[in-house]
Amino acid sequence: MPELHQLTATQLIDGYRAKTFSPYELADALVKHVARWEPHINALYAYQPDGFMQAAEASTQRWQKASQAALWMVSRSPLKS
């Protein structure tokens, strides 16, 4: 599997759904990647990794809630035998 920062959007969504990794883990990988390369390329102007990580944590919580809601809906389905 490629590194998280190399995945396509579809691969990211699939990974979130499968709980292979979380948005927080992706953000952490991206922050580390930026930390490694930014001193060499000096391309960022308004980089705020702390805010990015907070948003990633909130996203992770939303994914977890959505997953739990989906399980609840399936378990309550009238089609369940």
Report the pLDDT value the prediction gives residue 74, as an integer from 0 to 100: 46
The pTM for the full model equals: 0.77
Q: Give 18-52 pLDDT, tens digit per residue.
A: 999 999 999 999 999 999 999 999 998 889 999 99
The answer to whether 57 and 24 have CB atoms below 8 angstroms apart is yes
The answer to whether 54 and 27 have CB atoms below 8 angstroms apart is no
Residue 78 main-chain phi, psi, to 5 deg = -65, -15
Region for residue 80 given its phi and psi (left: phi exceeds 0; alpha: psi -120 to 50; beta: otherwise): beta
Q: Give 51-81 pLDDT, tens digit per residue.
A: 999 999 999 999 988 876 654 454 455 555 4
Domain layout of the chain by residue ranges: 22-65
Region for residue 33 given its phi and psi (left: phi exceeds 0; alpha: psi -120 to 50; beta: otherwise): alpha
Report the pLDDT value the prediction gives residue 69, as an integer from 0 to 100: 63
